[in-house]
Amino acid sequence: MERTDDQARPAVGEATRHVGQGGLLEGLRIYGADYADMRRLFARWLGLHATDAAALIEVANCELREDLLTPARLSERIQLSPNATSALLNRMEQTGHILRTREHTDRRVVTLRAGEQARLLAEQFFTPVARRTQAVIDRYPAELLEQFQQLLDDLHHTMRTCLTEAGEAARTARSSGTSSA
């Protein structure tokens, strides 16, 4: 018996069927891969390890949103252990890429900021990309962009829930000595 396209598609592709031949979700996956490529290129351009550049981008982006990171939050964002994050921050602080400050009312709280030179270099690298991206966004009506923003927010929350659940399952499997592989 001949299989139809729907029968041949794996279960993972179930969600993509609803947006046509993998269109939207595949497009988001490709955009994510392109963003990762841009981040790696930025790292090479600065002469940094990819993880150091990822940390710098996280710190700078959070600073732009006025949602400053602590070392613990950075550790979570870039998926490094606290010890590895501390070593990364020591390297980045020595080169002036990242600054550790104590500007919170609770002086025990360390806040991370991008160094001035790092901020200028990031601006130089990412401004042309931001301009082109904004030009594409500007072609779409506000109502559609609001709907798309809601979709992105919903997908983000769904993915964070899945990551939390998968992390808990992995911890449980490790502690019991089993794996679901």
Segments of the chain assigned E as strands: 98-101, 111-114
pLDDT above 80 (res 181)? no
pLDDT above 80 (res 67)? yes
In order of start, what are the domains of the chain with their CATH numbers?
15-139 (1.10.10.10), 142-181 (no CATH)
State the pTM of this model. 0.75
| Separation in Å, CA 1 to CA 5, 7, 44, 93, 115 | 13, 11, 52, 64, 64
Per-residue pLDDT reduced to its tens digit, 82-102: 999 999 999 999 999 999 998
Per-residue pLDDT reduced to its tens digit, 131-166: 999 999 999 999 999 999 999 999 999 999 999 899
Share of the chain above pLDDT 70, in %: 86
